[in-house]
Structure 1
Amino acid sequence: MGIYDFQVKTNKGEEKSLADYKGKVLLIVNTASKCGFTPQFQELQELYLKYKEQGLEILGFPCNQFAGQEPGTNSEVQEFCRLNYGVTFPIFAKGDVRGETAQPLFKYLVEQQGFKGFDESHPIAAKLIGALKENFPEILAGDGIKWNFTKFLVDRDGQVVARFEPTTAPSALAKDIEKLLA
């Protein structure tokens, strides 16, 4: 099983094959509109505009599993992203990204790239880690996705080559993306 074997739901509920993205560099991100990391939409959109002509696709997957930070409907999420951050990359249907109910795509991504720690130099890293320890200690165990805006980088051959936690700003991925686009 590889990345191109997965079907995902668009924000209109239609099936979309990831095989449609063969040959592209993918950045797959679980998102939320009411999160301390939500401003990352701005940098994600900047990356998309800068590199899409060279073959980058950013795929956003809204999730409400983390402190209810994505309460909206699929159309509300789409509208929020477009109006507040000018997002033009695809935002898919809302769904789970961790645990038993996780979308199969995210189970696969986590199997391919486990958790390697947070970037503790990020301005809200200490707050995130503290909140997880205090309120959601079970999230810290294992390789599962820890919070919104976890990012997975996939090369043109469909290999999941890197995972970046919410504490890594999208702009910090530019060099990794450029290597894969070259």
Structure 2
Amino acid sequence: MILEERDRSDGKPMKHIFAVTVLSLVVFFIQTNKGEAMNAHDFDFESIDGAPMAMENYTGKVVLLVNTASFCGFTPQYTALQSLWQNYRDRGLVVLGVPSNDFGGQEPHAESDIKDFCVTNFGVDFPMTTKQHVIGPNAHPLYKWIVNEAGEDSAPRWNFHKYLIGPDGELAGLWPSRVNPTDAEIVGAIEPLLPE
């Protein structure tokens, strides 16, 4: 008989219950996704040699992320970046170079040429990624995350913009191109974050 009553009501109570259930699930998933603690460790690159490079591998380390270019007035900063890497890598610092052609077309070559240039001219052996966009709609997702976290003014304005990512994957500092990687302000921000 209950079945007959539902049939006579055209299933409206069931449709109502179904709609409420679906709506509740949608709200739950939206709130769950909004509450996810995204950080820099949630992103991946490819190394300059084409191998997978997961940022989660740097959990517990401090990362200085720098968009680089071979033909820029700031290109000599590779020397300071390599110096930082040599001085602090055993203490938990990772210098991560991200070649980009976004500013002035100053990184036009293929990854193999970029790597050869950096090794030959600056002795670079810190990790580098494949060439990436760091601004605009095609920016790498990590750079989009940084802008989302720190605001539009945090986007790189030129090559050799620097971001400091703490051991927990959170953004810990940023500096424009003109600030040398070995500047006391950057070193002073790195040292307290290094593991004991």
What RMSD, in angstroms, separates the aligned Cα atoms of the two structures?
1.3
Aligned partner of 2:72 in structure 1 is 35
Q: 1:143 to 1:21 in 2, by over 3 A?
A: closer
Aligned partner of 1:52 in structure 2 is 89
* SS of equivalent to 1:44: helix
* SS of equivalent to 2:80: helix
Q: TM-score, normalised by structure 1?
A: 0.82
1:140-179 matches, cutoff 5 A: 142-172=153-183, 173-179=186-192
- Give the percent of matched residue pairs that are identical in Structure 1 and Structure 2: 41
* Shift, 1:41, TM fit: 0.4
2:41 and 2:55 in contact (8 A); partners too: yes
1:113 and 1:161 in contact (8 A); partners too: no
Aligned partner of 1:106 in structure 2 is 143
Matched, 1:91 2:128: yes
- Matches of 2:134 and 2:96, distance apart in 1: 14
- Matches of 1:35 and 1:114, distance apart in 2: 26
Q: 1:48 to 1:161 in 2, by over 3 A?
A: same
1:23 and 1:156 in contact (8 A); partners too: yes
- Matches of 1:90 and 1:113, distance apart in 2: 25
Aligned partner of 2:43 in structure 1 is 6
1:8 and 1:15 in contact (8 A); partners too: yes
* Shift, 1:114, TM fit: 4.0
Give runs of ≥4 in structure 1 deviating > 6 Å.
none
Aligned partner of 2:18 in structure 1 is none
Matched, 1:77 2:114: yes
* SS of equivalent to 1:111: helix
Q: Which runs of 5+ in 1 are unaligned?
A: 116-141
Q: Which has more radius of gyration?
A: 2
* SS of equivalent to 2:182: helix
Amino acid at match of 1:166: S
* Shift, 1:105, TM fit: 1.0
Q: Which runs of 5+ in 2 are unaligned?
A: 1-37
Amino acid at match of 2:190: I
1:25 and 1:156 in contact (8 A); partners too: yes
Is the helix fraction higher in 1 or 2? Answer: 2
* Shift, 1:32, TM fit: 0.2
- Matches of 2:154 and 2:146, distance apart in 1: 10
Looking at both structures, which has the greater relative contact order when contacts are Cα pairs under 8 Å and sequence separation is at least 6? 1
